[in-house]
Structure 1
Amino acid sequence: MQGSLTGKVALVAGATRGAGRAIAVELGRSGATVYATGRTTRDQRSEMNRPETIEETAELVTAAGGTGIPVRVDHLERDEVRALVERIGTEHGRLDVLVNDIWGGDIFLAWDRPLWEQSLDKGLRMLRLGIDTHAITSHYALPLLIGEPGGLVVEMTDGTSEFNAHYRADVGFFYDLVKVAVQRMALAQAAELRPHGATAVAVTPGWLRSEAMLDGFGVTEDTWRDALSSQPHFCISESPAFVGRAIAALAVDPDVARWSGQTLSSGHLAQVYGFTDTDGSRPDAWRYITEVQTTGKPADATGYR
């Protein structure tokens, strides 16, 4: 896929770390110019208080073969998003790929607690971070994206449509609502974009080895298997590069419209497009979670990666 996005412009909204960073890098590896946005820079951190920065992401994009452009944007601030899109239009006159990966709500999660026992302020903050940001960004970016045929919008979510058809009580009301809403946003945008020759999909990674997840287990990407002693089902986890490669595969697919409106998983797309994770495997996390983890079977990724 390297070089196949040369001349194309992508906006990865929420590219500071995790899936967003990896998506930006893999789009860059295919030759794209990538605007990497987020709230954490070398001079200022977001409420997440993580060390990763958008400047680092942009540098990784450029090192991979693309052109990385870091822009600090709070995607809840309309004027900042409007200015970002105007800048892309001025500098390039086009937008070919929009990835809405804005989130930042993990710090507000209340595990295994019903709605009435959760903080309403924190819950509503999650809705703003995970839903409003996506709507605001698409509102301003889509007029530029439909200027050229073949545009692609990717709404990043958590969970397949089938899995999210059931309430996820472990993550709670607000998180569940955000991730299902994002899938619906992809469906709605697909319908509105189709007459303009553009496509919208939702994509979910599996159990992601993000920087925060690795820190939570006290491991690194090189030693992640040490976490299996505390959480055996982590055996199905995937690196952020895996979902990054999934988005890059979609972006270069001339027949990407066949997926319009659907929610796709990195594991499924790996089977279709033939890419692998960094270790050469193809973890199919959501099939594993459905068939093994949620049914109470012992952790065993055999046949799932």
Structure 2
Amino acid sequence: MAGASRGVGRGLARALGEAGATVIVTARSSETGPRTEMRPEAIEDTARMVDAAGGSGHHYLCDHRSERATDALVHWALRRFGRIDVAACAVWGGNEGYDGTRYPDGAGWGTPFWRRSAEPFLGLMQAGPLPALLLARAVAPAMVAARSGLIALVSFGTQDGYLGDVFYDAAKAATNRLALGFARELAPHGVTALGLSPGSVATERARDLGREDLATESPLYAGRALAALAADPAVAARAGQILHAGDLARVYGFTDADGTRPERFRVGP
């Protein structure tokens, strides 16, 4: 579970734990090492949550922006466990340094692109699409050999319209397009790739910025969506699609942590 020290990735790991899965929790933040932005959450915390939920949690410190580090993680996982059934990438460092008003370059959300430096754009591509690509290419050979497996990229649906910021919109669209491309190339080998779009999530960062009340769902909602997809023997029919947690809840019958079933989140006009 890439990018699972907090946020949506933590929710995915917990939900797979609920399903009794063995979950490898990976990210850059560890109790015994560096932490992104000095935040308190760490991969060990999430691994313990997986255990508490009924699964078996294992942690592995990994910078998913590095091809070498990602390859090393996958090699370790295959040596330790023999196979990888589900690989999910929830890595997203695009909000690092955002204080609720402005990014480190001084620009606010939705600042016209011609009034911004182009440099942060590269950072956002490295914060989401690149880790998704690196993880998929690392796990694909083993899945192709086994002729089974699910690769899920956590992104944000762009089909309903523009997301309000050129850099953010482009990064999410790129991740969605990777899901489509992976699906086309992996389908003949029995492997399914797809995208998973949460709504407005009550993450730790949203809480710290005082925006938790604007959220529509908890991180566990997308996690239960992933668990349902992983358990679906007909999941290959969804290959290449960008699936919304709210839509999947109605298909598979799961609820959020509080027992509610939030509707699919849609961006405004």
The aligned amino acid for 2:163 is R
| TM-fit CA distance, 1:126 | 1.3
Which residue of 243, 261, 283 corresponds with 2:222?
Answer: 243
User: Are 1:135 and 2:129 matched, yes or no?
Assistant: no
Q: State the alpha-carbon separation in 2 of the partners of residues 28 and 46 from structure 1.
A: 24
Q: State the alpha-carbon separation in 1 of the partners of residues 34 and 120 from structure 2.
A: 19
Q: State the alpha-carbon separation in 1 of the partners of residues 20 and 257 from structure 2.
A: 19
What residue in structure 2 maps to residue 205 of structure 1?
Answer: 198
| TM-fit CA distance, 1:167 | 2.7
Is 2:3–2:89's contact at 8 Å kept on the other side of the alignment?
Answer: yes
For the residue of structure 1 that corresponds to 2:209, the secondary structure is helix
What residue in structure 2 maps to residue 178 of structure 1?
Answer: 171
The aligned amino acid for 1:96 is D
What residue in structure 2 maps to residue 162 of structure 1?
Answer: 159
User: Are 1:120 and 2:118 matched, yes or no?
Assistant: yes
For the residue of structure 2 that corresponds to 1:209, the secondary structure is coil
Q: Percent identity?
A: 39
What residue in structure 1 maps to residue 185 of structure 2?
Answer: 192
Question: Which of the two has higher C-alpha Rg?
Answer: 1
What residue in structure 1 maps to residue 209 of structure 2?
Answer: 216
What residue in structure 2 maps to residue 253 of structure 1?
Answer: 232
For the residue of structure 2 that corresponds to 1:207, the secondary structure is coil
> Taking structure 1 as the reference length, what is the TM-score of the superposition?
0.81
For the residue of structure 1 that corresponds to 2:31, the secondary structure is coil
For the residue of structure 2 that corresponds to 1:282, the secondary structure is coil
Is 2:65–2:126's contact at 8 Å kept on the other side of the alignment?
Answer: yes
| TM-fit CA distance, 1:161 | 4.1
* Structure 1 segments unaligned to the other structure (5+ residues): 1-11, 219-223, 228-233, 296-305
Superposition pairs for residues 223-302 of structure 1, below 5 Å? 227=213, 234=214, 237-286=216-265, 289=266, 294=268
What residue in structure 1 maps to residue 37 of structure 2?
Answer: 48
Q: State the alpha-carbon separation in 1 of the partners of residues 263 and 93 from structure 2.
A: 25
Which residue of 47, 62, 65 corresponds with 1:58?
Answer: 47
Q: String of CA shifts for 1:178-199, please: whole Å, max 9, x gaps.
A: 1011111110111111111111
The aligned amino acid for 1:239 is S
Superposition pairs for residues 6-21 of structure 1, below 5 Å? 12-21=1-10
Q: String of CA shifts for 1:131-160, please: whole Å, max 9, x gaps.
A: 1111111111111222323310101011x3
> Taking structure 2 as the reference length, what is the TM-score of the superposition?
0.91
Q: State the alpha-carbon separation in 1 of the partners of residues 255 and 163 from structure 2.
A: 29
Q: State the alpha-carbon separation in 2 of the partners of residues 46 and 125 from structure 1.
A: 18
Give the paired residue count: 260
Q: State the alpha-carbon separation in 1 of the partners of residues 20 and 258 from structure 2.
A: 23
For the residue of structure 2 that corresponds to 1:261, the secondary structure is coil
What residue in structure 2 maps to residue 35 of structure 1?
Answer: 24
Worse-matched range after superposition: 45-54 or 148-157: 45-54
* Structure 2 segments unaligned to the other structure (5+ residues): 98-102
Is 2:247–2:264's contact at 8 Å kept on the other side of the alignment?
Answer: no
Is 1:207–1:285's contact at 8 Å kept on the other side of the alignment?
Answer: no
| TM-fit CA distance, 1:21 | 0.6
